[in-house]
Structure 1
Amino acid sequence: RAPLAGVLIASPGNPTGTVMHPDALRTLVQTAERLGIRFISDEIYHGLIYAGVAETALKHARHAIVVNSFSKYYCMTGWRIGWMVLPEDLVRPIERIAQNLYISAPDISQRAAVAAFDATEELEAVKAGYAANRQLLLDKLPAIGFDDFFPVDGAFYVYASVRRFSNDSVDFTRRMLAEAGVAATPGPDFDRERGHAWMRFSFAGTGEDMAEALSRLGRWLG
């Protein structure tokens, strides 16, 4: 087997929304540095934190690779614009890859991204909506039967077990959509080995939609 070239950590993660504890992150980063392997930190959901602390890997190592995006906190999904923080020796290699893949981000996306930095008040209002939806799901899902889920520290997902209802989350989510009119993502989209027992709820919608979805699920499963 080839030696390990690097490790990639997403915190908060998708599909769980779970945040890595700062002590665990520091240990991983420092271990990677000691072993001489790359540490890649996916920080795309930074800014959307409701519990705990999401630290940047750069706090613990100068050579960490950080990937971020305007897609989540800045509500610019589809604009295809983000950024990387790289150690000096990787800057030119990454530039060459980028030049051959897409040359540069579109001009309109760059202008919108710059403007997004001045929209903190509006973005925090959106985040407050996510937080209210999160609390609604945390309060109501257990009563419906979804009482086993990963810590919902950030992002806008609940990754919940469907074992109480089914051993096949793909079939379960299809029936849920057809019969209850509620959509969720089956676990095998994220984990081919264990995902059959899990599915991902998104709460990146309106409070009214979340309440209606919970009501429909309650009637369907009740």
Structure 2
Amino acid sequence: MALKVGTRGRIASFIVMDVLRAANERQAAGAEVLHLEIGQPGTPAPAAVRAAAKRAIDEEPIGYTDAFGLPALRGRIARHYAERYGVEVDPARVAVTPGSSGGFLLAFLAAFDPGDRVALAAPGYPAYRNILTALDLEPVLLGTGPAERYQPTPELLERAQRERPLAGVIVASPSNPTGTMLGAAEMAALSGWCRDAGVRLISDEIYHGIGYGSRPVCALEQDAEAIVVNSFSKYYSMTGWRLGWLVLPEALVRPVECLGQNLFISAHAVSQHAGIVAFDCTDELDGYVAGYARNRALLLDRLPAAGLDRLAPADGAFYLYADVGHLTNDSQAFCRRLLDETGIAIAPGVDFDPERGHRTVRLSFAGPERDMALAAERLADWLKRAG
């Protein structure tokens, strides 16, 4: 008799990771790959972070930390909110997590019950809906476009709420894949709607620090009861260190702590020691952001001439989201051909929008400037030949 296989693993794959695997296999076979598919900086962790990690390995007893992390790191994260946003955060409300991915899992488990409905924008980060689905929660996709600047609005939420009550809303600003941001008025309107409706607001702020104009708004500036998710992966250039954090409302502190104790015990100790100094590396990190800005300007200049002129505003993060409906109705096949024939790896839009993403793609400009220039040149030649 066949043994049972549980249903929680029957979720969609994170397609960009499948693309990365194909790109890595091509690279391992000796072919060149230009990596515009994966959302990770092409830069190392700051020098002081690397030095702190080496010091910790040599001098610290690297074992379990408190489930919520090193007190020094939690205190430094709390100080960050006062310095960056003018918001006072009690370090007791800060939970250090194994990346933002661990943070989402803990937040969703603590805030919601099976069957609860949680709204999020489409296009949006695919792991939101896939984690929700694995936890027997119902992701409610809000179809957004240029009119909404690819962000949730009170009107869209009200419509979803009328169908059946919502328990939560996830907002990302800057967003993945579009890079759009909510201004103070938009964040205030969303948080006000959530308060009035009794709906939990979860704010993904992992791209804060990577912007090309105005400063991103922290949800805590508008709503002290919001759950804020952040990470050292993007602005701090520490993806492989698997370190993130939550800022929690008081009612969820102990539930998240109990969950974290049992699911993870604690986040990586070496990464935590290193993360303490990351907040003091802004000169180096802002230099990285200046590099992203150059890449962004290069692609915004060259992609329209190549035939990709339907682009979402990229206010922050390091992505361009392009409508390629005039070129294909199958974004996955389009991306496979592009990789096979040019060595350019990009992400198909169906990862971010399962209903309309067959007409869109995402390009990450977090890599070297030379790769962006070469990708733009090859893409223009390929589209010219294909057209």
Q: How many Å separate the matches in 1 of 2:211 and 2:315?
A: 6
Q: Kindly state the Cα deviation for residue 53 of structure 1 after the two structures are TM-superposed.
A: 3.4
Cα RMSD (Å): 1.1
Partner of 1:18: 180
Partner of 2:349: 187
Q: How many Å separate the matches in 2 of 1:193 and 1:96?
A: 37
1:144 to 300, 306, 312: 306
Q: How many Å separate the matches in 2 of 1:60 and 1:135?
A: 32
Q: How many Å separate the matches in 2 of 1:51 and 1:145?
A: 26
Partner of 1:74: 236
Q: Kindly state the Cα deviation for residue 50 of structure 1 after the two structures are TM-superposed.
A: 0.7
The letter for the 2-side match of 1:113 is: G
Q: Kindly state the Cα deviation for residue 42 of structure 1 after the two structures are TM-superposed.
A: 0.5
Partner of 1:209: 371
Q: Kindly state the Cα deviation for residue 199 of structure 1 after the two structures are TM-superposed.
A: 0.4
Where relative contact order (Cα < 8 A, 6+ residues apart) is larger, the structure is 2
State the SS of the aligned residue for 2:171.
strand
Task: List per-residue Cα deviations over 1:171-198 (Å, max 9, x = no partner).
Answer: 1111111111111000111111000000
Q: How many Å separate the matches in 2 of 1:46 and 1:117?
A: 13
Partner of 2:223: 61
Task: List per-residue Cα deviations over 1:97-122 (Å, max 9, x = no partner).
Answer: 11111111111010111121222111
The letter for the 1-side match of 2:376 is: L
Q: How many Å separate the matches in 2 of 1:189 and 1:37?
A: 26
CA contact (8 A) 1:145 1:164 kept: no
Q: How many Å separate the matches in 2 of 1:36 and 1:219?
A: 53
Partner of 1:106: 268
Q: Which runs of 5+ in 1 are unaligned?
A: none
Q: Kindly state the Cα deviation for residue 51 of structure 1 after the two structures are TM-superposed.
A: 3.0
State the SS of the aligned residue for 2:239.
coil
The letter for the 2-side match of 1:16 is: T
Q: How many Å separate the matches in 2 of 1:78 and 1:191?
A: 26
- Runs of 4+ aligned structure 1 residues displaced above 2 Å come to none
Q: How many Å separate the matches in 2 of 1:174 and 1:52?
A: 36
Q: How many Å separate the matches in 2 of 1:191 and 1:2?
A: 22
TM-score, normalised with respect to structure 2:
0.56
State the SS of the aligned residue for 1:78.
helix
Q: How many Å separate the matches in 1 of 2:282 and 2:348?
A: 33
Q: How many Å separate the matches in 1 of 2:218 and 2:230?
A: 11
1:52 to 202, 214, 217: 214
Q: Kindly state the Cα deviation for residue 164 of structure 1 after the two structures are TM-superposed.
A: 1.9
Q: Which runs of 5+ in 2 are unaligned?
A: 1-162
Task: List per-residue Cα deviations over 1:138-194 (Å, max 9, x = no partner).
Answer: 111110011101110110000001112111111111111111111100011111100
2:246 aligned with 1:84 = yes
2:166 aligned with 1:4 = yes
2:359 to 186, 197, 207: 197
Task: List per-residue Cα deviations over 1:26-53 (Å, max 9, x = no partner).
Answer: 1010110112221111101000011333
TM-score, normalised with respect to structure 1:
0.97
1:34 to 196, 214, 233: 196
2:266 aligned with 1:115 = no
Partner of 1:125: 287
The letter for the 1-side match of 2:240 is: G
